[in-house]
Structure 1
Amino acid sequence: MQIHYISESNSVLNHFLGQIRNVNIQKDSMRFRRNIERIGEIMAYELSKDLTYKNVEIQTPLGIKHTTEIENDLVLCSILRAGLPLHNGFLNYFDQAENSFVSACRYHPNNDDDFEILVEYQALSNLNNKTVLLLDPMLATGYSIAAVHEKLIENAVPAAIHIVVVIAAPEGIEYLQKTLPENCHLWVASLDEKLNDKKYIIPGLGDAGDLAYGSKL
């Protein structure tokens, strides 16, 4: 698996990453969603450098301009619900992309810290020979992304899969490296320190879905 760390050099990305972590700022749900969306826009720009382009001729009012445009057939696939603001950021840049959605959540059958991943709702477009961008703000254990990846390739053969996360733990990256094919790409905005005993990212930012849309039962 090829890994791309985006925040290693200073840019406005780090400014927005700081705001989504800041307990005094993240309480504003609208601002939190917008900051995740803006992070998505920055990550979409960085990822766009790795796509395939074709030469085209553009008719301008005064002549012909030779330029390039994206050749890949893109599909944006978000993990609900936390992935929606990130999805919007990518859609702002890849507005011709198709869109897919999958739900994945931690299920605690014994009401303790042990959990399994439930992948239930799916609204998938045709992924065959498409470049799939799998979007999820948080990469903790890696179990959710691995489970969704398995669903995506169950009945389709994508041309490529790019996994995009805002904050990642080393344990999750290590798990994906062991689990996913070598031709997958992982794009990470910020690498954090570790997981705690409950498998939450430290220092992290809390629950991205709750911060964006309110707490759930």
Structure 2
Amino acid sequence: MKVHNLSRTNSILNHFLHEIRDENIQKDRMRFRRNIERIGEVMSYEMSKSLEFESKTFKTPLDNSVFNEIKNNLVVCSILRAGVPLHNGVLNYFDEVDSAFVSAFRKKSENLDAEEDFEIIVEYLSSPSLEGKSLVLVDPMLATGLSMLNVLKALEKLGTPRSIHIISVIGAQPGVDLIDDYLPENTHLWIGAIDDKLDEKGYIIPGLGDAGDLAYGKKL
């Protein structure tokens, strides 16, 4: 897997990352969602440089001209619910691609004394065929990596993608290492920042908290 850690390059992306992490600024839900969306736009631009293009001719009001069109048949899949703003950011740049949606959540252990124990449950899945296409899987937080692997396993029945691109805002090194062990070499990870560790509950440290709650409010 090829990792593109965009925080290593000075760009406007780092400003958006600061605003979603800052505990005072992130309390503005609309601003938080918009910043996630803008991060998705920046990452889409960076990802587009790695895609395949072919030359096409078109007509202007005065003469013929040529442009390079993306050849990849993209399917953008987001993990509900936190992935929706990031999904929208990607669609702002790849506006005619197909979309897929999948739900994945942590089911806590029945042992109330073991808050760190959980399993990832995948329930809802809506997607076109992925056979021979370029799958763009978007999820703001790449923490343990288990959600990503479970979602990819659920998508296997829909066909084998030609390539896989993962777009995440913030990840933890243990989660990045985990998916690197399982995913094909032609997989690309586009990520805003990689933090060093997880806490005992599987949250990224320093991270930003719960992206879904910050975007849409706390859930039961």
Q: TM-score, normalised by structure 1?
A: 0.98
Residue type matched to 2:107 in 1? Y
Q: Alpha-carbon deviations, 1:38-79, whole Å to 9, x = none?
A: 000000000000000010012111111111011111100000
What is the CA RMSD across the aligned residues, in angstroms? 0.9
Q: Which residue of 1 aligns with 2:15?
A: 15
Deviation at 1:182, TM superposition (A): 2.0
Please give the alpha-carbon distance, in whole angstroms, between the structure 2 residues aligned to 1:185 and 1:151: 19
Give the SS at the match of 2:147: helix
Matches within 5 A, 1:177-216: 177-216=180-219
Give the SS at the match of 2:170: strand
Deviation at 1:109, TM superposition (A): 3.0
Residue 72 (str. 1) matches residue 75 (str. 2):
no
Please give the alpha-carbon distance, in whole angstroms, between the structure 2 residues aligned to 1:108 and 1:123: 25
Residue type matched to 1:189 in 2? G
Deviation at 1:183, TM superposition (A): 2.0
Residue of structure 2 aligned with 1:124, choices 104, 127, 130: 127
Q: Which residue of 2 aligns with 1:98?
A: 98
Q: Which residue of 2 aligns with 1:53?
A: 53
- Answer whether contact 2:129 2:158 (CA < 8 A) is retained: no
Residue 138 (str. 1) matches residue 144 (str. 2):
no
- Answer whether contact 2:128 2:158 (CA < 8 A) is retained: no
Q: Which residue of 2 aligns with 1:43?
A: 43
Residue type matched to 1:54 in 2? E
Please give the alpha-carbon distance, in whole angstroms, between the structure 1 residues aligned to 2:195 and 2:163: 26
Consecutive unaligned residues of structure 1, counting only runs of 5 or more, are: none
Give the SS at the match of 2:26: coil
Q: Following superposition, which runs of at least 4 residues in structure 1 exceed 2 angstroms of deviation?
A: none
- Answer whether contact 2:105 2:120 (CA < 8 A) is retained: yes
Please give the alpha-carbon distance, in whole angstroms, between the structure 2 residues aligned to 1:24 and 1:84: 22
Consecutive unaligned residues of structure 2, counting only runs of 5 or more, are: none
Residue 87 (str. 1) matches residue 87 (str. 2):
yes
Please give the alpha-carbon distance, in whole angstroms, between the structure 2 residues aligned to 1:18 and 1:109: 33
Aligned length: 217
Please give the alpha-carbon distance, in whole angstroms, between the structure 1 residues aligned to 2:12 and 2:109: 42
Give the SS at the match of 2:189: strand
Q: Alpha-carbon deviations, 1:7-59, whole Å to 9, x = none?
A: 21111000000000011111111000000000000000000000000100121
